[in-house]
A and B are shown apart, each in its own frame.
Chain A
Amino acid sequence: MRSIYYLLSRFYVLILFVLLEIFALSLIFKSHKYQEVRLLNASNTFTGTVLGYINGSITFIHLGTTNKALVEENTLLKKMILYQDKYPVDTTLPKRSALYRFDYIPAKIVNNTISRSINYITLNKGSKDGIQKGLGVVSSNGVVGIITNVSENFSLAMSVISVKSLISVRHKNTSALGNLRWNGDDAFTLQVDGFSKTLPIKKNDTIVTAGFSSIFPPDILVAIVKNLKADESTSFYDVNVRLTNNINRLSYVYIVKNDKKKELDSLQIQVNNE
């Protein structure tokens, strides 16, 4: 008993240090798993509100760019309406929108980083607005990330600029499938793997979402090919791409909600189990 007391009195700082460190490391391990709950995050009401105030001033600086993006998007939408009037859509064919029912919920970015290895974006819409874990986030001209945490009023999205992020994409001209990843180096250069060397892929080609998962609608703009190199050891290209949207400067985004996500996911689980 005396020796235990002696040990405690001598090493209490070390023991406490080990305990605290185990606590902190367990938090990290939990948050390192993809789409796992982060305990210390900025999606709770207090930090969300504080960061919201800070972001108010940053949004003001980017007001010009935001306005421009909105005008461009408006023009595009107007053109689409015009187009539909002139050339009515053939009703005998099933419309794509019938297969994929997507609902867009607008949200404002409260906090945003690009300098970490795993970057998170805090959004001002939460479970109150029907946001759930696993929904996709897009901007008017590109993919932004996937929701990983939801509180009542705020949600947290893992940005595509994250080493743990993985999004299935498609080469627009050849329809070849690939995966969009980030190697953690330059935040403005992402990588796509899975494009076969036999394909005619060139610089400045467009990469869009594959639309196989229930997260993102198909054919949403993702990136432009920056440069590519044939990997000598495999039959694939090493492709570097540049995102079409500047995640760093975004102020407003859309959260994509798929009405049929549950149905699709359960079907896929069924198939996997068989």
Chain B
Amino acid sequence: MNNKFLLSNIIRFVLLIALQVLLLNELPLNRAYLMIYPLIILLLPVFTPRLAVLFIAFFTGMIIDVFSNGGGLHTAALTAVGYLRSYILDTFQPRSGWDKLDVPNISQQGLTWFFYYSLIFFSIHHWLYFFLEVFSFTNFFATIFKTMISLFGSLLLMWILTLFFMRNSRE
């Protein structure tokens, strides 16, 4: 079971980074910048040690930064959500508490749960990213507009992807 967890997480890690770097970074969109890679941290098993989550987030951010001229932006934003993940999971925990093998995905936790969880997760990440990027409140509304469009786009893409790869829980 453990090996299966590890393998699927590694495959997801590689595929999502490839998708981000090869496709999403190259999209000639005018106002939006779609980011899918927070999904790597979002979908880690619930009982991944907090220290491990923090380090995975940090290094994933570094990799994305190197490939997209981020200059530390992706690292800062992803490390922050990596740290906050355990608190988000605590607030969103089921009534009976988390089980040892739980994974915060659609097939285990259901559509509505995943909707709110990913919304909070991606929102924190995107707001941090875009406000660190300009690092000022000049053109405040332009930045807000950009963040909202990008957030909406990223979430939509992410939900489509996760629904597409959703495993039937009855299996």
A residues engaging B (CB < 8 A)? 12-14, 16-17, 20-21, 23-28, 30-32, 38-42, 44, 47, 50-51, 54, 58, 111, 113-118, 120, 122, 156, 163, 183-188, 248-249
Contact = CB atoms under 8 A, between A and B. Distances in A.
B46 interface: no
Contact of A185 (B32, B72, B132, B139): B139
A115 B33 contact: yes
Contact of B51 (A13, A25, A156): A13
Nearest to B79: A20
A13 B33 CA distance: 30
A28 B73 contact: yes
Q: By DSSP majority rule, is chain B's interface helix, strand, loop, or mixed? A: helix
Contact of A47 (B26, B58, B67): B67
B80 interface: yes
Nearest to B70: A40
B54 A17 contact: yes
Given A28-B132, A116-B133, A163-B134, A184 B143 contact: yes
18 contacts: A13-B50, A13-B54, A21-B76, A24-B61, A24-B75, A28-B72, A28-B135, A30-B72, A31-B71, A32-B71, A40-B62, A51-B67, A114-B29, A115-B32, A117-B133, A156-B69, A185-B139, A186-B31
Contacts, number: 123
B8 interface: no
Most interface-central of B72, B79, B133, B139 (chain A CB within 10 A): B72
Contacts of A23: 75
A28 B76 contact: yes
A39 B75 CA distance: 12
B133 A21 contact: no
B142 interface: yes
A39 B67 CA distance: 12
B66 interface: yes
9 closest A-B pairs by CB:
A27-B72, A31-B71, A24-B76, A40-B65, A24-B75, A185-B142, A120-B69, A17-B83, A28-B72
Nearest to A26: B72
B69 A42 contact: yes
A156 B93 CA distance: 46
Given A40-B65, A184-B134, A115 B26 contact: no
Contact of A41 (B21, B69, B145): B69
B67 A42 contact: yes
B54 A186 contact: no
A71 to B, nearest CB: 24
Nearest to B83: A17
Contacts of A114: 28-30
Interface in B4-43: 21-22, 25-33
Contact of A50 (B61, B67, B72): B67
A117 B83 CA distance: 26
Nearest to A120: B69
B30 A32 contact: no
A25 B73 CA distance: 8
A32 B79 CA distance: 19
